[in-house]
Homo-oligomer: A and B are copies of this chain.
Amino acid sequence: MDFDREIYLDHAAATPLDARVREAMDPFLADQFFNPSSPYAPAWETRHAFEAARADLAHAIGAKPAEVIVTAGATESVNLAFTVVGEKAHVVTTSIEHSAVLACAQAYAHTLVPVNHHGLVDPEAVRAAITPETRLVSIGLANNEIGTVQPLRAISEVVQQLRQQRLMECNTTPLYLHSDASQCAGQLDVNVSTLGVDMLTLNAAKIYGPKQVGLLWVARGVQLQPLVLGGGQERGLRSGTENVAGTIGFAHALQIAVEGRKEEAARLADLRKGLQRQLLAAFPEAVVSGHKKHHLPGLLHISFPGLDAERLVYLLENEGVYVATGAACAANKATRSHVLEAIGLPPEVADGSLRLTLGRLSTEENTARAVEIITRVVRTEYERVGS
């Protein structure tokens, strides 16, 4: 990709590796290649660097190092979180979760809490869905397709109240709140105390870190089962030689994301606002989905009723503008987005939906150029289909 000429508006699908992150990883891709379990001093240094990175990851989210399990990505983290659910237990999640959460939930008795037209979950609906057998509530902090940010703090309070109630009723079934915040670091506050969760999933690949690295933060006392058995690394929960370079890269990426969060979130919100305003001005019939106030600053989900999003993606790609139709994970499956169905977007609107996600590659200049190109392409398409 030519970063000067081409315009990347798919930061929610993948982010380029930050140069500072790359630099931090480089020694561990070169002469510090040791197995951190090896018994000589240079390998201990590798071990120390790895554990320091774990501590940095923990620190960035207000947690303790021993509570952070490094995984091979968000999907694995989510699967690991779901191991708290026993054989006959019940799970509560929402109808708009990422496929990783939905697939895990489907392995158990589960309830999908619906969302409103803005994709927002009602904490009282979560309360109503929790049964005495529920062990896990898993709700993503921000939706990856429409960007709606959930009232996690309020949901956490519901969960805490129900825990108290269980104590009084001598129901010893634990009840935990997990959140996949893969899309959020760098745009929203992902401090575990602020969020009020018991488990949190993060992903390096979405925050300008390396691919194939994620973490699961687990509050003290939460009992997980190992997903991968073997040498007993990661407190026996995730065996396999540690990913030293990847973890160090992740730690740097998360630190950078958290430190620059407020400024970058404000910048992206401004860019997104301009993008939305100008596209809606050009196409008053266009529909913006997601909650007006509670949304990811950099994500704009916009539908052009009557148009075919796949054609738009193709036409925009020809102009060097890269956007998504719905979630990238579902992109090569040619199925309609379950998220857009859940918020009740009519099919003829949903089919013309683009997800534009701004990020560090976005500038005022290239966003303005993107508006111009998108406007031209959408206009030509509307003329072609004759509406």
Interface residue count on the A side (C-beta < 8 Å): 72
Smallest beta-carbon distance A357→chain B, Å: 11
User: Nearest Cβ distance between residue A231 and chain B, in whole angstroms?
Assistant: 4
Report the bound CA distance from A329 to B43 in whole Å.
Answer: 12
A 1-36 binary contact with B (CB < 8 Å = 1; else 0): 111001000100111110000100000011111110
The proximity string for A residues 322-355 relative to B, scoring 1 for CB distances below 8 Å and 0 otherwise, is: 1111001111110000000000000000000000
User: 8 Å CB contacts to B: which residues of A203-242?
Assistant: 205, 210-213, 227-232, 239-241
Contact A332 B100 (CB under 8 A): no
CA distance A328 to B310 in the complex (A): 50
Kindly state the separation between the CA atoms of A99 and B37 in the bound complex, as whole angstroms: 14
Chain B residues whose C-beta falls within 8 Å of the C-beta of A41 in the assembled complex: 317
- Asked if A72 lies at the interface with its beta carbon under 8 angstroms from chain B, I say yes
The majority secondary structure among interface residues of chain A is loop
* A38→B331 contact, CB < 8 A: yes
Tell me whether B35 and A229 are in contact (CB under 8 A).
no
Q: Which residues of B contact A231 (CB under 8 A)?
A: 75, 99-100, 329-330
Closest to A246 in B: B212
| Closest B residue, CB atoms, query A316 | B40
Q: Does A240 lie within 8 Å of B38, measured CB to CB? A: no
Complex alpha-carbon distance, A347 and B314, angstroms: 68
Contact (Cβ within 8 A) A229 B40: no
**Cβ contacts under 8 Å, A228 to chain B:** 75-76, 79, 227
Binding site for B on A (CB under 8 A): 1-3, 6, 10, 13-17, 22, 29-35, 37-43, 72-76, 78-79, 98-100, 103-104, 106-107, 205, 210-213, 227-232, 239-241, 243-246, 310, 313-314, 316-317, 322-325, 328-333
Query: What are 10 contact pairs spanning A and B, CB under 8 A?
Result: A14-B38, A39-B332, A40-B313, A72-B243, A75-B241, A79-B227, A98-B230, A100-B230, A103-B239, A212-B241
